[in-house]
Every structure is written in structure tokens, then in C-alpha cells.
Amino acid sequence: MPEAPPTVSEPTVGEPTVSQGWRQRVVTGLAVGLGLFTLAEVNYPRLAPLSQLALFALFALVICYLTLPMAQRFRGAAWSRGLDLILAGLSALVCGWVVMQTEPRFKNLWLDGLALGDRAGAENSLDILVGAVGLVLVLEAARRAVGMAIPLLALLFLAYGFWGQHVPEWLFPHRGYGVERLVSQTFLHSQGVFGIALRVMFTYVFLFVVFGALLEVTGATRFIIDLARRLLGNSAGGPAKVSVLSSGLMGSLSGSAVANTATTGTFTIPLMRSAGFAPHQAAGIEAAASSGGALVPPVMGAGAYMMLEIIQPPVAYLEIVRAALLPAILYYLSLFLVVHFAAKKLAAKKLASPTSAVATGSSPTEPTLVGEPAGKVEGLIFFASLGSLLLFLMLGYTVFRSVSLAMVITVLTSQLSSRTRVDWRRGVHALVKAARGGVTLVVAAASVGVILGVVTLTGVGSKLPATLIPLAQDNLFLALLLLMVSSIVLGMGLPSAVCYLLLATLVGPALAGLGVVPLAAHLFIFYFGLMSMVTPPVALAAYTAASIAGSGIMRTAVTAFRYSLVGFILPFVFVYRPQLLMLAPDGNTADWLSIVFAFGLAALAMVPVAAASTGFLNRPLRLPHRILLALAAVGLLYPGGQMIFAGVPWLEGLPINVVNVGAAVLLVGVLLERHWRGGTEVTA
């Protein structure tokens, strides 16, 4: 069975790939500098916007070249390490050039006495050389950090920009642009590398990476797992439910399915195996739970803050959180039911004997966390940190100011115990950890900026919507299906956040013409970008979980896909039934009765979804019963058709149709038939 790829499309955690000594100290210094610069400049800006992003990229590129080798087989080669130093130095030079040619304090060094922005369209040869070298450095850094997917896509768009007059009609031909214009557009100005993708990373995402690292060094994240164990450890499939809950809570903070899987999976996967789950099942559950973490408010892996920048007309942060709440509850309700039925099925088959399912193969005892359990102080830090974040947001503070103040609360609360206290050593450790995790996202976003620069230059961003809108008018479902496929395919090679940024920018103008609520359309894209992490054949979260569990990669990916199936259904449902987002079809707030009925039908549908996917209810299900339950689930979620309360005063707005009622009757019939035929409930 092939191994998981050495590079992944989400930030990884672990030790950096640098040697001890001066290089380690340089990387530590740069990581601390990146964190402090971002915190200071976001809250109290002193530089021009282009200079901010150029320095932000400078830190990230240099750290990337000093920590990630050109290839694993060349890791220790002297020539490779020398090349890394050269590329790191060039990265500092090209980004420093942009700062020097932008900031008024360096006015004496401006070429022709003009700032870089004032030379747009009239750049000299030195500008173009710097821009071309910068493009190469950005794409190579992305290749090292996230693999070939983003650089190849960027190169395809650059080729499209150069040879646009020769492409066929269906690829939206244009007049074509020279190398100078492409370099200027994609690197030297604010519509490419230093555009919206990097701006979102700088203003929002990296701050939340630092916030999550601070919570981790205080032990607050360990409190999440301990809390899940205390609440769910003794129930049927308890270890798997611990995995679902802890991965959901931690995934909301990190936003990275792969990093979340690698972090919580090292503990939860052995726990599940010790409870009798097969390796591919344990890995599949962890991958599914980790991939949905960024769907969970209030943080949503910083996805909510990207939407603040992109959705038109603008929406408030609390509107996004409110809209995301019920779908996230439904996703994890489905996972809990899947785990519960799977545990019952294991017990029914008598597969839960300790001697056959121990995670390590050496002891039947349950694995434990390394270090002492989290106590009350860690819990106080966790709730004080997230509570203060929400409070500042509700008081009207900006997102970046709110998370910055929440970090201050975290540090202050940590002083209550020597076990949790954030001193300068732990502060440095948190900033270094944040840099290791955030650099991957930063260089990926910079590469996506190349794509967005070409999109803006060629006008394909307006031509694509012009094609999609008529299609949506003829068949909205087909248009949504195309968006789903695009999101999943791009998400196979991109971090989830970057995938959302790219697609929302490419098809954003078309979303308003789809005839659906804009927030619902953006959440639709966001969901499928996340679900790509468990979609074979390139299911990176499943790959990570499989490497921990020692299971087959494709078998694990298929299992994770099956367990997270509801994540592929819910986006279609809430587009057609926006009451699940607490929205009326016109985009205003829905009335509470419609919300309750829409959520109740969807929650009821989670039972047949989980039973059909696991093949168990009160005892193992045969294929005909699984088909009937699947039909009942689809019917309960069906949004169209004749509304049964149409024309009835006070009730005509309720989103309940004839198909929903028929599906509920079918579900009740199957449940009664299972009850009458007998079958004793079993416990795992």
C-alpha cells in the first residue's frame, strides 16, 4: 500500500526540519519577529498596505526556505542547504525591494523619483527582474510547503495570461499579455501576490493561529480532550465520541483538518482501537471529525473572517456565526450517531475483546495522555479565552482587535498557576509553533494571489459568472453541482481556507446571480472545500489518520467519506432551505417557528443517515432496510414540493412538504418493523 505523500495541503505540526545551532536560532528569531510584527502592525499600522504584506511575506518565505528542504532525499546535502540560504536571501531582497520602493521614508531610493505604485504600467527593467525572481521564489516555496498542486495551477494561469489569444472559445480567449505586464500584475502591485488572499492571512488567519498556539501552551486544548473523556468516556463507543467532540472543538481553533488529525489523532485513534474499532474505522472517524472542525462557530478556522472580506453585500460576523451554527450541530450529530451505531454493531458482533483490538499490541489498557491531566485552571483559561473573544466581537470591536485582546486575556488568566503560566519561554514557543503552522498557509495564499492577479487582468472572473448565471437560471441544482465538483477538486491540493478564497473570488460575482442567499452560497463553497479532505482519491486528512492507525490509505479514505456523508448533503439542503441557516429565502432573519421545524426535520434525518451508512439500528440491517432508511433520509431533507400548510394562517411559512411527511411515515414504519421483529439492544 502506498504511503501518504510527504507534503500535505494543510499546515503541519511537529519539529522543524532545521539543524540545531545558528540556523535554529535564526528560525526562532524570525518566527518571533513574524508574530510580533503581525500583532503590532494589524492593531497599530505604521506601514503602507503593500509594505505590510511584503514584510509579512518576507518572514514567511525566509522561514519556509530555512525549514523545508528542496526534497526529502536532499535534506542533509551541503549543496542543498547552501541553495536554501541563497533562496532565503533572495526572498528577503525581493520583498525588501517592494518595501523600499513603497515607503516614503525611503523616498531618496525610489527609481525615477516615483513610488512603485506610481510606476504601474511604466516599470523599468530592474522592477521586472525583481518581480520575476519574486514569482519564482513564491511558487517554489509553495511547492515545498504544499506540493505541486498550487504552483502548477498558478503556472497554468500565467500561461493562459500569456497565450490567451490562442485558447479555444470555451476557455474564454483574450488578447494576451506580455511577460512585463504579467510580472507587474502578479508581484509588483496589490492585485497579485500582495492581494486579497495574503491580506486575509495577515489580517485574520495568522492571528488565530497564534491564538490557538497560546491556548495549547497553557494546556487549555488538553482540557478539551479531558472534558470530552469525562462526558462521554463511559457511553457506547465512548472513545470514538471523545474523538468527535475534541476534534470538533480543536478544529474550530486550528481550521486545519490535517493538523487537527495529526494532533488529536495520536491520542484518539489508539483509544478507539482499544475499544474494538478496526484501524480503518478509527482513522475514518478521526478524519471525518477533524475535517468538520472548521465548520464549528465561533472561530471556524478563521473562515468566518474571510467571508467578512468577500461576501457582497457585506454581512456581520455574528450573522455568519449564527448561520453556521445549526449545520455544524447537524454534522456532528450525524457523526455521533454513526459512532454510536458502529459501537453497537461491534458489540453485536462480539468484536470488542481487549486482546484483539489493542492499539499498541502490547497492553489491553486504554492509552493515556502524556503529562498530568488538565485541571480547573486550564478550563478557566479555555472558557475565558473563547468567552472574551465573543464578548469583544459582540461589543463591536473589529475581528483582529478582538482576537488580540482575547490573547491578552489568555496570558493574564494563565498567570493563575505555575502549570499554565505563559512566561517569555512559553511565549516564544507559542510564536514559533504558530509560525511553523502558519507559514504553509501564507506561502499558499501568496501563490493563490498569482492566480487571482491573472483572473483580474484577463477578465475571466467576469466571463465565468456570465456562463454560470444562465446555467443556474435553467437548472440551479446543476450549477451547484458544478460548484461542488470545483470545490472538491481544488480542495484536493489546497488548504481549505485557500480553496475557499480562490473559489469565492473566481465565482463570487456569479453567486449573486444564482438566485440564492449570498451567505448560503458562500457557506456552500466553504463546506465542500473542507469535505475535500475526506474525498478519495486525495483525502489528505484520511491519509494522515491512516498513517497513525496503520491502516490502508484508500480503505480509510472511503470509510471517512462514508462517515462524513452528511457533509456532502447539508450544503444542498441549506441552499434550498435557508431556514437551516436561520435565514428566510429573501435573506432576512427567519421566524423561529420555521427554524425549529427545518432543524427538527434535518435532525430527524440524521438517524436514518447514520443507520444506513453503518448498517445497524437496534441490530445489523439488511440491504433492503438500508435502502429504505436512505430513502427516508432523502425525503426528510427534500426541500421542494407541495407545502402541507400552504394557505393556512400562521403556518403557511413552515418548510414542511408532502415528501417530508411521507418520509417520516416511512421512517416510523421501519422503526416499528424493527421493534416488532425483536432484537435486543447491546452495549459496547
Q: What is the 3-state secondary structure (H, E, C) of 277-346?
A: CCHHHHHHHHHHHHHCHHHCCCCHHHHHHHHHHHCCCCCCHHHHHHHHHHHHHHHHHHHHHHHHHHHHHH
pLDDT score for 194: 94
**What is the reported pLDDT for 509?**
63
100: pLDDT confidence band, cut at 50, 70 and 90? Answer: very high
Predicted confidence (pLDDT) per residue in 496-525, tens digit: 677 777 777 776 666 666 778 888 888 888
Tell me which residue has cell 498550487.
150
Whether the pLDDT of residue 431 is over 90: the answer is yes
Q: 604 falls in which pLDDT band (50, 70, 90)?
A: very high
The answer to whether 8 and 146 have CB atoms below 8 angstroms apart is: yes
For the CA atoms of the chain, what is the radius of gyration? 26
The C-alpha cell 517569555 sits at 424
* pLDDT for the residue 5: 36
* Confidence band, pLDDT 50/70/90 cuts, at residue 103: very high
Span 114-141, mean pLDDT? 92
Handedness of CA 579, 582, 586, 587 (dihedral sign): negative
599's enclosing H/E stretch is helix 592-614
Q: Which residues, 6+ apart, have CB-to-CB distance to 28 below 8 Å?
A: 428, 432
- Asked whether residue 3 carries a pLDDT value surpassing 70, the answer given is no
Q: Which of 419, 424, 420, 429 is nearest to 382 (CA)?
A: 420
Q: pLDDT value at position 193?
A: 93
Residue 241 near residue 512 (C-beta atoms within 8 A): no
pLDDT band at 684 (very low <50, low <70, confident <90, very high): very low
Contacts of 293 (CB under 8 A, 6+ apart): 247, 248, 249, 250, 251, 252, 253, 254, 255, 257, 260, 301
Query: Considering the chain, what percentage of its residues have pLDDT values greater than 90?
Result: 28
Regarding predicted confidence, which is higher, 586 or 178? 178
Q: Which of 283-297, 300-314, 418-432 has the highest mean pLDDT?
A: 418-432
pLDDT of residue 197 exceeding 60: yes
Mean pLDDT, range 398-412, rounded to an integer? 89
**Greatest Cα pair distance in the chain:** 89
Confidence (pLDDT) at 642: 67
**pLDDT for res 242:** 74
pLDDT at 645 over 90: no
Mean pLDDT of 546-554: 81
Q: Is the dihedral angle over the CA atoms 419, 424, 425, 429 positive or is it negative? A: positive
Helix %, strand %, coil % of the chain (to 5) = 70, 0, 25
- Distances, alpha carbon 178 to alpha carbons 115, 158, 166, in Å: 23, 10, 14
Q: CA–CA separation, 332 vs 293, rounded Å?
A: 9
Q: What is the pLDDT of residue 508?
A: 63
Predicted model pTM: 0.71
Contacts of 142 (CB under 8 A, 6+ apart): 150, 151, 154, 443, 444, 446, 447
The Cα 530–Cα 261 span in angstroms is 13
